Amino acid sequence: MGKIGFIGLGIMGKPMAGHLLDAGHELFVSNKSGGASDLISAGATGCDSYAEIAGKADTVILMVPNTPEVEAVLFEEGGVAEGLGSGKLVIDMSSIAPIPTKEFAAKIQAQGSDYLDAPVSGGEVGAKAGTLTIMVGGSDAAFAQAKPLFEIMGQNITHVGPAGAGQTTKVANQIIVALNIAAVGEALLFASKAGADPAKVREALMGGFASSKVLEVHGERMLKRTFDPGFRINLHHKDLNLALSGGDELGLSLPQTSFCQQLLNSAKGNGEGDLDHSAIVKQLERLAGHELG
């Protein structure tokens, strides 16, 4: 069994780390993390700095919110980079910008360690069930080394290409998910305002070409008004910022992504940034002057 450091014990990181611990790996976590106490009680070792985690672990996994946090965890004083040595592996499973990811990978590799970007999709449900989709960028050798760990945390695991390719894939994923949530919200809202039962409409659509995971899971959330976060609006807003800034760099127009980002802006402006991203429907309801339920 391996020695694994895990940094970022939030809604998704904590159950992911728990799966590694349950599988028999030796786990090192930060004493400063709010999610550490349960894992330490279950057998993980608490450390006082990220450098200490990296020094004790063979593989260090990051699951933090955004690009600046990844950079800080890796390279600020007491960061992971200070504890690395030859032959170690850093895996960033956060969702961050692809171009800085390539820069982070180069810096870590210059110290003799390897680096993978491996963002995930599946939300809190997938993290708890160990069924995450994992999109991986990096070398073939590093992917082969990490794959047994990925198989503990996820099911659909794809080595997409070199460093940064995993993050690029995740941004593409977030575009598709946002557009689908907005489409499901609009469709159910149209059905409701036209006088049909939106629950029955959803049931009918689940048997046709419009069927999707978003219609299944988030359509139900919309109808039941269960907006407790599986994936927060604030985080999806961050991911669409990555898409739009990347589009600017590439000279690429992303009009539908821009529209969805305005819906997320509305949610944040209405104090709903910590709700699940299925609450995009609440912004459509405001525009329509009509609620599903």
Reported pTM: 0.90
Mean pLDDT of the chain: 96
| Res. 1: pLDDT tops 80 | no
Q: What pLDDT was estimated at residue 123?
A: 87
203 and 152 within one domain = no
pLDDT band at residue 293, thresholds of 50, 70 and 90? confident
126 and 14 within one domain = yes
137 and 186 within one domain = no
137 and 23 within one domain = yes
CB distance 138 to 161 below 8 Å: no
- 126: CATH: 3.40.50.720
Q: What pLDDT was estimated at residue 157?
A: 98
The residue from 146, 162, 178 where one domain ends is: 162
State the Cα–Cα distance between residues 204 and 196, nearest whole angstrom: 12
Domain residues for 240?
168-288
The residue from 128, 162, 196 where one domain ends is: 162
pLDDT band at residue 261, thresholds of 50, 70 and 90? very high
178 CB-contact burial (10 Å; exposed 0-12 / middle 13-18 / buried 19+): buried
**Residue 170 is a catalytic residue:** yes
The answer to the question of residue 293 being in a domain is no
Q: Which of 14, 88, 102, 170 is catalytic?
A: 170
State the Cα–Cα distance between residues 211 and 95, nearest whole angstrom: 27
The encoded tokens of residue 87 equal 């032959």
111 and 151 within one domain = yes
CB distance 57 to 49 below 8 Å: no
Tally of domains within the chain: 2
Residue type, 118: A
What mean pLDDT comes out for the span 91-114? 96
Beta bridge partners of 117: 92, 137
